């Protein structure tokens, strides 16, 4: 199944996704593969990453995949039953900056097809960035637009979609666990 967890900054989405991953790993009697997409470009981001590392159970497997996420899912997840990807918006940010001339629609379509081909439970975390003002600057607007497109694409294929606000889950699609 595909689970999609989204919300704003500090909404509780990562904690919710981790609880879901733990529950699914207990059901499957397996370990969780946590795929992290963040990169520490500054001290503040390094602190955020450190907090996520401290909050993550020590027995989880970790893969840091800031760029080639689709390829990693196609080639390196053999026999995995529960995968948590946190987060898609950081992966998108990395894509836009490392590969500014890529066809992002093709990138998204390949990612979608890869997700649909997986035979495991996958939990995807993303930021909802489209609820605020339209940002100044072309690059910022492109990021918000593409994040919205990516979130819509994932929400369409997900079996369950949960929006977090103030730590409270709102189930948008599928049945609550």
pLDDT for the residue numbered 93: 94
Contacts of 67 (CB under 8 A, 6+ apart): 91, 94, 95, 98
- Which strands, in side-by-side order, build the sheet including 168-173? 61-64, 32-36, 82-86, 121-127, 2-7, 160-165, 168-173
CB 54 within 8 A of CB 15: no
pLDDT for the residue numbered 15: 93
Q: Is the pLDDT of residue 177 over 80?
A: no
Q: Is the pLDDT of residue 114 over 60?
A: yes
Q: Is the pLDDT of residue 79 over 90?
A: no
What's the rounded mean pLDDT across residues 68-72? 96
Average pLDDT, the chain: 92
pLDDT for the residue numbered 125: 98
pLDDT for the residue numbered 176: 66
Q: How many CB atoms lie within 10 A of CB 18?
A: 22
pLDDT digits (tens, 9 = 90+) for 15-66: 999 999 999 999 999 999 999 998 887 888 888 878 877 778 888 999 999 9
As annotated, the active-site residues are 52
Q: Residue 102 and residue 105: Cα distance in Å, rounded? A: 9
Domains of the chain: 2-163 (3.40.50.300)
Q: Residue 160 and residue 47: Cα distance in Å, rounded? A: 30
pLDDT for the residue numbered 5: 98
Q: Residue 118 and residue 73: Cα distance in Å, rounded? A: 8
How do strand 61-64 and strand 168-173 relate by DSSP bridges?
Answer: unpaired
Q: What percent of the chain has pLDDT over 70?
A: 99
pLDDT for the residue numbered 175: 79
Question: What pTM was estimated for this model as a whole?
Answer: 0.93
Question: Which letter does DSSP use for residue 126 in this model?
Answer: E
Contacts of 98 (CB under 8 A, 6+ apart): 67
């Amino acid at each position: 199944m595909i689970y999609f967890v989204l919300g704003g900054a500090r909404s509780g989405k990562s904690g919710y996704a981790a609880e879901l991953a733990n529950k699914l790993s207990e059901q499957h009697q397996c370990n969780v593969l946590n795929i992290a997409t963040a990169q520490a470009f500054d001290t503040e981001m390094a602190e955020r990453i450190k907090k996520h590392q401290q909050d993550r159970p020590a027995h989880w497997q970790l893969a840091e995949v800031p760029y080639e996420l689709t390829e990693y899912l196609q080639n390196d997840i053999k026999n995995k039953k529960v995968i948590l990807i946190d987060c898609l918006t950081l992966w998108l940010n990395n894509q836009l900056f490392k590969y500014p001339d890529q066809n992002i629609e093709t990138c998204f379509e390949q990612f979608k097809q890869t997700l649909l081909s997986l035979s495991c439970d996958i939990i995807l975390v993303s930021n909802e960035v489209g609820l605020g003002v339209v940002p100044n600057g072309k690059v910022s607007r492109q990021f918000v637009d593409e994040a919205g497109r990516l979130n819509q694409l994932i929400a369409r294929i997900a079996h369950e979609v949960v929006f977090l606000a103030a730590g409270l889950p709102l189930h948008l699609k599928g049945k609550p666990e």
